[in-house]
Homo-oligomer: A and B are copies of this chain.
Amino acid sequence: MSDSGLNERASLLLKALVERYIRDGQPVGSRTLSRESALEVSPATIRNVMADLEELGLVASPHTSAGRIPTAAGLRVFVDGLVTVKPLQRKIAEEIETSFAEPVDSSQELVTNASKLLSQVTHLAGVVTMPRSTHAQLRQIEFLPLSGNRVLAIIVVNSREVQNRILNLDRHYTESELRQAANYLTEQFSGNEVDDVRDRLIDELKQARQSMNSMMLNAISMAQRAFEQGEKEDCVIAGKTNLMDIAELSDVEKLRQLFEVFNRKRDILHLLDQSSSAEGVQIFIGKESGYAPLNECSVVSAPYAVDDEVLGVLGVIGPTRMAYERVIPIVDVTARLLGKALKTG
């Protein structure tokens, strides 16, 4: 720790200041800091250091006779080098483990649970993106006839995911036609990855129009339509109400904007994607996220992976003065366990 161009004493004081500020959200004065920090220095000395830190843009005072609060830059320095990450509390570690021990029917459910878990243990908003279904092996395709020209396509992936698509087709297909098509497709493509299947379907449809019998052609065209709707990108946000307490957002208008961002999940998703290429826990403080409604918020996120391949991102959203030293390990271990849970699934 402590390499940010600051001498050791300045670092220590910044750390103490941030910790205190995170605890009770009030500007911290020199007298308090003098008592708080292990350093045995007088308030006056601290005032000098504070003046330096202010010069560097790491702290600011809301007005002349208030203490200092850390700026976004100050928090950045704090999380980058000063924070001493607390080991997980026993109780919380257990809570996380039992949550992942519960049986689930789908990765959708797994993701929902993880999101709720994050929000519960951090008392902030938890957010988890749906896992990218790359490396998803197609297991089976079924077509069931519905009324009219509509057909229900059922796609079984890996051993847990099931997707339904309703297709509106050009003509009526008999039950046996559909069965044949399904059998053909399952035989042909089962065991392959979904992405590959999608590509191969397109190829075959283009190249081999003549050389195939109409049954196969129909099958492939149906399958293609079933696949092309693709996975709707999405994420699960839990515990939004936890954010209503935090004083920084006491302004109802800001709260409102924040909640509207939660409805348009695309933006959140995009933000988290930035984190998917990073290794381990990443933190966005205030404006770093690039989204105005999140200006007063921080995001602590981590990618989760199966067999070293990143499938998605999870994290929490909270006020910039969140308890990073507690949240970081929680996000970290949750990401690991979610990866593990997805693998066994």
Contacts and interface: CB of A to CB of B under 8 A. Distances in A.
Interface of A: 105-106, 139-140, 142, 144, 146-148, 150, 152, 154, 156, 159-160, 162, 164, 166, 240-241, 244-245, 250, 252, 255-256, 259-260, 263
A140 B144 contact: yes
- How many copies altogether? 2
A164 to B, nearest CB: 5
A147 B259 CA distance: 40
A149 to B, nearest CB: 12
B156 A146 contact: yes
Nearest to A249: B252
Given A244-B252, A252-B252, A256-B245, A146 B164 contact: no
A156 B148 CA distance: 15
A106 B263 CA distance: 22
Contacts of A252: 244-245, 250, 252, 255
A165 to B, nearest CB: 8
Given A140-B144, A146-B156, A148-B159, 19 more contacts: A106-B166, A142-B154, A150-B159, A154-B154, A162-B164, A162-B166, A164-B164, A240-B259, A241-B256, A241-B260, A241-B263, A244-B252, A244-B256, A244-B259, A245-B252, A250-B252, A252-B252, A252-B255, A255-B255
Contacts of A140: 144
Contacts of A106: 166
A166 B104 CA distance: 10
A294 to B, nearest CB: 16
12 contacts: A140-B144, A142-B154, A144-B156, A152-B162, A154-B154, A160-B166, A162-B164, A241-B259, A241-B263, A244-B255, A245-B256, A255-B255
